[in-house]
Amino acid sequence: MNNRSFARRAAAASLAAALAFALLLSIKPDPAWTQQRPTLYWGSTGQDVRDVQWRLRSWGYYQGPIDGYYGAETYRAVVYFQQRNGLTPDGVVGPATWAALGLARGAAQAYSGSTPTARDGSLDLLARVVAAEATGEPFAGQVAVAAVILNRVRHPQFPNTLSGVIYQPHAFESVSNGLIWRRTPSAEAYRAAEQALNGWDPSWGALYFWNPSKPVSPWVWTRQIIVRIGNHVFAR
C-alpha cells in the first residue's frame, strides 16, 4: 500500500470514528426516566393516564379505551389492581402504585408485591443474562436488556423461544464466555427480569443493545437508535 492510499484510509477511519462519537453525544437519555411520575386520580388526563390504561389492559384489569382520560372504568381498574396487589385501594396512582405497575421512573423500585410472572425457569435464565450484561446499570436499563431478549423472541428474524434467543451463537458475549453461569443474579436482576416478563419495555421495542465505550461491530451502528439508558444504547 502506498503512502497516499494509506493516508486516504486513515482519514476515512478517522471520519467514521468522529461521526460515531458525534452520534453518541447526540443521544440523550429518554426524559421519561429523568422525571417522577405525577399522582393520578379521577379526572386526570394525558400520556401518563394512557400508560396506566395500557398496562392495566395488558394485564387484564381494564377493558376500556386507551384514551388518556381517568374516568370511572380506569378508576375501577386501578382499585381492583390495588386490591390484588396489597396496596391501599384508594383509586389514586401514587408512587407505590406506579412501582407496582412497573412504570415508575428514576431509580430502582423497592416494591415487592405480587404481579403476574412467567415460570421460574424462564425467570432465572433471563435474570442471569440481566446480571451478566447489565449489573451496575440503572434499574430501567436492566429491565430494558431483558426486554430486548423478549422482543427477539417475538420477532421473526430470531429464534421463537427464550432459550433459543439467549443461546443463539455469538448473540450475547456473556453467554459465549460463560459469565452468565459465574455471576449469581441479585434480587434486583430478578425484579428486572420479572418486570420485563410482565410487559414493561423501557427499550421501546429495541432488538439490540450495546455499550458504545466498548468495541462493537460497525454494523450495529447502522441500526435505528431509540434510547440510551445508563451505559447502553438500544436500537431496532
Angle at 235 between CA 217 and CA 162, to 5 degrees: 90
For the cut 80, the answer to whether the pLDDT of residue 12 exceeds it is: no
Place of cell 494509506: 6
Dihedral over Cα of 110, 115, 120, 123: its sign: negative
Per-residue pLDDT reduced to its tens digit, 94-152: 998 988 887 776 433 333 333 333 334 678 889 999 999 999 999 999 999 999 999 99
Q: Which residue has the cell 374516568?
A: 71
Cα separation, 112 vs 36, in Å, equals: 19
CB 135 within 8 A of CB 189: yes
Q: What is the pLDDT of residues 152-172, one digit of tens each?
A: 999 999 988 888 888 888 889
Domains and CATH numbers, the chain: 47-100 (1.10.101.10), 115-235 (1.10.10.2520)
d(CA 33, CA 105): 5
pLDDT, average across residues 215-222: 87
pTM of the model: 0.52
Q: What is the pLDDT of residue 25?
A: 45
Q: What is the DSSP letter of 50?
A: H
Average pLDDT rounded to a whole number, residues 71-89: 89
